[in-house]
Amino acid sequence: MKDPRERLIFPLDFSDLKEALSWAEKLSPYIGTFKIGLELFVKVGPRAIEKVKKKTGAKIFLDLKLHDIPNTVSQAVRAAVSHGVDFLTVHVLSGRKALEEAVKAAEGGLKILGVTLLTSLDKADLLELGFNGEYLYKTEDLVYKLSFLAQSVGCDGIVCSAKEVSRIKEAFPYLITVVPGIRFEESSQRDDQVRTATPYEAILNGADFLVVGRPIRLSQDPIGTCLQIHEKIKKAIEEKNV
C-alpha cells in the first residue's frame, strides 16, 4: 500500500447518522476506510453500513469487538459478511474456539482482526483485572502472546498499539496490524488513550493501518490534518524502504 490514503482509517464515532455521513463525504477523498463502531451501530444499525458505502465507496471496518461464546460470535460474523463489510473485530480474550469460529464464519468474505489489548488500558488497569507477573510489567509480552494466538487460528490481523507493533510485525510479517491511539507531538490534550504514538512512529514501527479520529475530528482544518498525516506516512514508508 504505497498510497497513504489507503493506510488511514477514520472512525465515524457519532450517534447521528446525518453527521456521520457528512464527515464521511467530506473526508472520503483522503480516507481509505471508515470505521463504524458501537456508538453508531447501536444507534442506527446496519443502515449505517449501507449509507456510508453508498456515499463514499470506501472500505468499511465494523468495529464491534465481539467477545462472546463461540456460537454467538460465529452468527454475528455471518451477519457482518451479509452486510458486505471489509473488516470485523473480535476480542482475542474470547478464546481460541471463538476465534476459530469467527475465522470459519468469515469464509473469506471479510477480514477478522483480533483485538489484543485496548490502548486505553495501562498497568494499573491490568492489575485490577487480575493480570500479574511479567504481563503486568511487560504489556508487550501480553500483546505478543495474544497476537500469537490470533495468527495461529487464522485471523487476518490484529489491533494493537504502536508500542507493540514492531515486535508483532517482526514475528508475524503477514499479519495485518491496525494501530489506534494516534496522536501528534504537539498535542497536550489528555484523553482515554494512554499507549499512543505519532503517525510517523506507528508506520515506522510496522503499522499497516492507522485509526485516527480525534486529531482529525477536533482539528480546525480536518482536510489539512489528513494531508499532514499522509505526509508523515509517506516519510515513514520512504525511510523504511531505504
The catalytic position among 65, 97, 104, 123 is 65
Concerning whether 138 is annotated as a catalytic residue, the answer is no
Give, rounded to a whole angstrom, the gap between the first and last alpha carbons of the chain.
16
Residue 10 sits in a domain whose CATH number is: 3.20.20.70
Q: How many domains are there within the chain?
A: 1
**Grid cell locating 212:** 485516527
Identify the domain containing residue 95 by its residue range: 4-241
Name the residue among 123, 66, 135 with its Cα closest to residue 95: 66
Q: How far is CA 237 from CA 59, 128, 165, 172, 228, in A?
A: 22, 38, 15, 19, 14
**Using CB atoms within 10 A of its CB, is residue 238 exposed (0-12), middle (13-18) or buried (19+)?**
exposed
The pLDDT tens digits along the chain (242 residues) read 679 999 999 999 999 999 999 999 999 999 999 999 999 999 999 999 999 999 999 999 999 999 999 999 999 999 999 999 999 999 999 999 999 999 999 988 899 999 998 877 777 887 888 777 666 667 888 899 999 999 999 999 999 988 899 999 999 999 999 999 888 864 445 444 455 689 999 999 999 999 999 999 999 999 999 999 999 999 999 987 75
